[in-house]
Structure 1
Amino acid sequence: MAGMKGPGVEDGGARRPARLLAFLALLLLGVGVTVSLGNWQVARRAWKLDLIERVETRVHAPAVPAPGPAAWPGVSTASDEYRHVRLSGRFLPGRGTLVAGTTALGGGFWLLEPFRVDEGWLVLVNRGFVPGERSTAERTATPPPAAEEEIVGLLRITEPGGGFLRANDPAGGWWYSRDVAAIAAARGLEGPVAPYFVDAEVSSDPRPPVGGLTVIAFRNTHLIYALTWYGLALMLAGATCFLLLSEWRARRGRA
């Protein structure tokens, strides 16, 4: 009907001050939140780029001795993941563990073998990838060398729990992640066991397991997210300006 106004609207189409202030407060809060989220994504992007640069430096740096027990409490993803390391010692025969995985060679298993270093402690070495079904992998994987040797590879942080969709089943012998502590317990390894494993480099033996298949990739979509949040902030800021302009025009027309 002609003379009726909506709630909170004055004559001439202008909103009442309390309603206007509430709208403005919500819009300005939205601007502040979206700008903060955009700034957070920018900071995350800077952190990710720094991490990628540090990892690239570690991977291509000369191999250093793998951290021993004294250094284990300080081993972390940020400071040690993908560090180029070396260690000398012997594999323990008959203690290998197949962990399901997928590589450029297709589906198959990573073969982790316990390795006792000359200093006496143990570390799981991922000797490489064995393609095929479990029975095929068990049949085709070459046994670890019996003689003392030097392993060179990349330090990797343990993967506790299981895969993305499936949990590890130690009792059934099915592994979907390289959970160092769980594998060591299941295999009855005695002595200090490093809280990390080592991905071995490519071996001169062409037979499986195939080493050197470590994928070093970091998802970095922070810039896209930052631009999205900043875009929303601009939209909310534009809505704020539109609201103020429309109110100014409404009140000017009424005057």
Structure 2
Amino acid sequence: MRYKFLFSIFVFFFISVFISLGSWQIVRLNWKLDLINQIETSLKNNPVNLTTSTQKNYLRIKTNGSINFEKQIYLYNLNEKGKPGFEVVSPIKIGNKDYLLNRGWVPFDKKDNKILNVFDENNITGILKKQIKPNRFKPKNDLLNNYWFTLDRDDIFKFTGKKFSPYVIYLSGNNELPKPKLITANISNNHKKYAMTWFSLAISIFLLYLYFRKKNY
């Protein structure tokens, strides 16, 4: 009898854990849907002046500044077709603040090409994105050869001697090269699938419990 009681406690403990995990995924799902809606709304808005607006993720902005082409960063990445190359990330002074301007993707053979320095600094339209922590599993940046895998802030300071805003400006437009990165609200949202998995496990265990209980009582 005691064995059956302990077994029931054990089963219901795991059922409650799985239900809790599923409920948490529902909370995360609602949060993610709200975030996607905010991003989509922000991306549809007209660009606002960077220096007079409250900065936030996915804010469409317009501005002007002064780019330091000598300290341009070449960040390894793939383009939308999966071809390897570099994203051209330019330090830019806007007002009294320093930003990183991601101007877009170029193939390897365009690295350090002076044609990339032909750019209208007085008419910049883009999208703000808060810089995330670099993936620690990526290779280390080669500062000597200006070959980057992450925008590590310590490395950026060593390379440029400056500290930058936590927001990176992603240039908008239809330029051929550098080809601006397309920023969308298409972010990972698997919380519904995870919730269904946890709830299914809880139901399955409960049904198995009822089966064995009926069989052994």
Same fold (TM over 0.5): yes
| Residue 212 of structure 1: how far off its partner (Å) | 4.3
Tell me what 1:170 maps to.
Answer: 143
For structure 2, which runs of at least 5 residues remain unmatched after alignment?
none
Tell me what 2:169 maps to.
Answer: 198
| Residue 31 of structure 1: how far off its partner (Å) | 0.8
Q: Provide TM-score, normalisation by structure 2.
A: 0.87
Is 1:111 aligned to 2:92, yes or no? no
Q: Can you list the C-alpha shifts for 1:163-201, whole angstroms capped at 9, x where unaligned?
A: 753233334532112345532441223xx6312210001
For structure 1, which runs of at least 5 residues remain unmatched after alignment?
1-16, 249-255
Question: Highest Rg: 1 or 2?
Answer: 1
| Residue 229 of structure 1: how far off its partner (Å) | 0.9
Change (3 A) 1:86 1:110: same
Q: Can you list the C-alpha shifts for 1:108-142, whole angstroms capped at 9, x where unaligned?
A: 1110111111x2221111111102x2x44333752
1:237 and 1:161 map into 2 onto residues whose CA distance is 43
Which deviates the most, 162-171 or 44-53?
Answer: 162-171
Tell me what 1:28 maps to.
Answer: 12
Residue identity (%): 24
Task: Please tell me the residue identity of whatever aligns with 2:186.
Answer: A
Contact 2:88 2:178 in 1 (8 A): yes
Tell me what 1:56 maps to.
Answer: 40
Task: Please tell me the residue identity of whatever aligns with 1:227.
Answer: M
Is 1:209 aligned to 2:183, yes or no? no
Q: Provide TM-score, normalisation by structure 1.
A: 0.75
Tell me what 2:209 maps to.
Answer: 240
- After the TM superposition, which parts of structure 1 deviate over 4 Å for at least 4 consecutive aligned residues? none
2:15 and 2:77 map into 1 onto residues whose CA distance is 44
| Residue 45 of structure 1: how far off its partner (Å) | 0.9
